[in-house]
Amino acid sequence: MAELRHGTVAAAAARASSGSPAKRDAEAASASASSPFLSSPRSGGGDGGKDGALRPPPPLHQRYSLPAAVRALLALEDPRSPSAPASYRILLAVLACVALAALVSAPSVWSRLNAPYLCRKDGIRLQCPGVSNSLWENPHAAATSWKPCAERRRDEISDLVPENETSGYIFIHAEGGLNQQRIAICNAVAIAKIMNATLILPVLKQDQIWKDQTKFEDIFDVDHFINYLKDDVRIVRDIPDWFTEKDELFTSIRRTVKNIPKYAPAQFYVDNVLPRIKEKKIMSIKPFVDRLGYDNVPMKINRLRCRVNYHALKFLPGIEEMADKLATRMRNRTGSVNPYMALHLRFEKGMVGLSFCDFAGTREEKAMMAEYRQKQWPRRFKNGSHLWSLALEKRKEGRCPLEPGKIGFILRAMGYTKETQIYVASGQVYGGNNRMAPLRNMFPNLVTKEDLASKEEIEHFKKHVTSLAALDFLVCLKSDVFVMTHGGNFAKLIIGFRRYMGRHRLKSIKPDKGLMSKFFGDPYMPWANFVEDVMITHQTRTGLPEATFPHYDLWENPLSHCMCRA
């Protein structure tokens, strides 16, 4: 088509430049005879007159079925058309307008082509091509093809040795809060497997902060735990009767293994702990927080830890049932089924103090916090003179908890409206109602388990603080969107669970606190720009399984060790 247009235009130009009509006719006939696209004027008997004289060929757009735009262009090029001068002027005017528009829009088009995300604004929302903008669905879930695979296969042969051939017994105290205790239990099973030892059911140690006397059987289903792992590790409920030093087991120097490095490799236990267990037959291990690494243990050991965490450790049926009730009530608060968000608001006094970050507040409030820090962490506090620069550095690095009001701004920028139903999993918020007021003004439908359950229902669970934490854990796990405001074992385990069990198809939002601190520190940033930055920053922070790297936390992302391609 380009050759046709080029040849026709050239012929028209030649005709226009010729001064003799006869010469133009002869050249036109010569061009039509030599062109491979034009038929002979005598062919078909349709082009000759009655007397056999040659007639000039009709215009191309009358002889061939060409696109309308081409036919119009060819018609304009016919100088014998009476409307030719006016048509040329119209065409030139249109071309000039198009050229001017292209010149004006060129910078905008160029900047869009070089933008990292080709998105457009729709009000305060950001619409991005090829990405679902649903508030309640993970936009990239369709691209994932991972499934859980830590469960023992039915055809898998047990490698558990007979009871009389085990190396001995190991005993641990699971310290900290519920989720720290959960990780310690998973590690204890893994270490028992590494050393081919029998595991005595772990004791949940009373924590100085939690002040709780909960036993393993008060939270977890012991029968399920032991039976599920019976082909992996031998587990007994109590210290053997033949051992007479039960009261001194965890205090006796002769019976305790200490000085285990943090994130120790599997080989450390084989070289340093196993000989002592074989010698003494029963040993306690202390301390036991993060005493097993992730990258320096065999793949099957990491998979066993996932098997314990996601399959063997089940809460008691009463806890599961109450959590189901709370989740159902969250979905039916408006009279019809609606999705809900779970917000893990990590802004208790202990966390604010331990972070050593600076937050807005009155002079009296800051003085009280300084006194609290000096009392709780005297070595880190020193005289307090270095804390200001430390607080600025930590905020830039994203290591400070998000205040309730700031997480409210982030959620509104993402498009969540004031009607959003939000379940808050939190202890007593530092600053109380005054600190919560900005968040509650933006999202008035904030509720806790105490708001959803009756006094009689919740009273039963107040006997054990860890039971209340278990309820929060399960309601967050079942939520449509989970949002964390700071790191910690609770948030890591929730995100890991949702990834492993397929709930990564629902959103788990992990705010980029470092970048958010930069935005919040700019008082001149317009709201529309803030919305765009929040949307773009968090497009990929939605809880999908990620490829792991050295020292990546197994509990937050079980992809490489515990998941397989679907």
Question: Does residue 125 or residue 502 have the better pLDDT?
Answer: 502
pLDDT of residue 56: 53
Residue 225 has pLDDT above 70, yes or no: yes
Residue 420 has pLDDT above 60, yes or no: yes
At residue 462, φ and ψ (nearest 5 deg) are -75, -10
Residue 253 has pLDDT above 80, yes or no: yes
CA–CA distance, 29 with 80 (Å, rounded to integer):
16
pLDDT of residue 23: 43
Question: Does residue 149 or residue 142 have the better pLDDT?
Answer: 149
CA–CA distance, 492 with 500 (Å, rounded to integer):
12
Residue with tokens 């450390």: 268
At residue 36, φ and ψ (nearest 5 deg) are -70, -15
- Total Cβ atoms within 10 A of residue 217: 14
Rounded mean pLDDT, 164-172? 92
DSSP 312: I
Residue 448 has pLDDT above 60, yes or no: yes
3-state secondary structure at position 220: strand
Residue with tokens 């609606």: 338
Using alpha carbons, list the distances in angstroms from residue 298 to 17, 223, 262, 302, 410.
87, 28, 17, 7, 41
Burial of 229 (0-12, 13-18, 19+ CB in 10 A): buried
pLDDT of residue 140: 65
The distance from CA 257 to its chain's CA centroid, rounded to whole angstroms, is: 39
Using alpha carbons, list the distances in angstroms from residue 450 to 112, 178, 328, 466.
50, 19, 15, 15
CA–CA distance, 293 with 290 (Å, rounded to integer):
7
The distance from CA 387 to its chain's CA centroid, rounded to whole angstroms, is: 32
Residue 337 has pLDDT above 80, yes or no: yes
> What CATH architecture does domain 163-312 belong to?
3-Layer(aba) Sandwich (3.40)
214 pLDDT tier (thresholds 50, 70, 90): confident
Reported as a single tens digit per residue, the pLDDT across 53-109 is 445 555 544 544 444 444 444 444 444 455 556 666 777 777 777 777 777 666 655
Q: How high does pLDDT run on average in the chain?
A: 80
CA–CA distance, 24 with 16 (Å, rounded to integer):
8
CA–CA distance, 65 with 334 (Å, rounded to integer):
64
pLDDT of residue 211: 57
Fold: same for 163-312 and 317-347+401-565: yes
Bridge partners for 204 per DSSP: 174
Reported as a single tens digit per residue, the pLDDT across 503-525 is 667 889 999 998 888 888 888 89
CA–CA distance, 151 with 564 (Å, rounded to integer):
12
Least confident of 47-61, 114-128, 354-368, 423-437: 114-128
For 317-347+401-565, CATH number out of 3.40.1000, 3.30.1600, 3.40.50, 1.25.40 equals: 3.40.50
Rounded mean pLDDT, 466-483? 95
Least confident of 88-102, 133-147, 194-208: 133-147
Q: How do the domains of the chain map onto residue ranges? A: 163-312, 317-347+401-565
CB 267 within 8 A of CB 257: no
Q: Of 273, 288, 260, 308, whose CA–CA distance to 169 is shortest?
A: 273
pLDDT of residue 511: 93
Question: Does residue 3 or residue 370 have the better pLDDT?
Answer: 370
CB 143 within 8 A of CB 504: no
At residue 163, φ and ψ (nearest 5 deg) are -60, -35
CA–CA distance, 265 with 254 (Å, rounded to integer):
24
Least confident of 4-18, 100-114, 390-404: 4-18
pLDDT of residue 99: 79
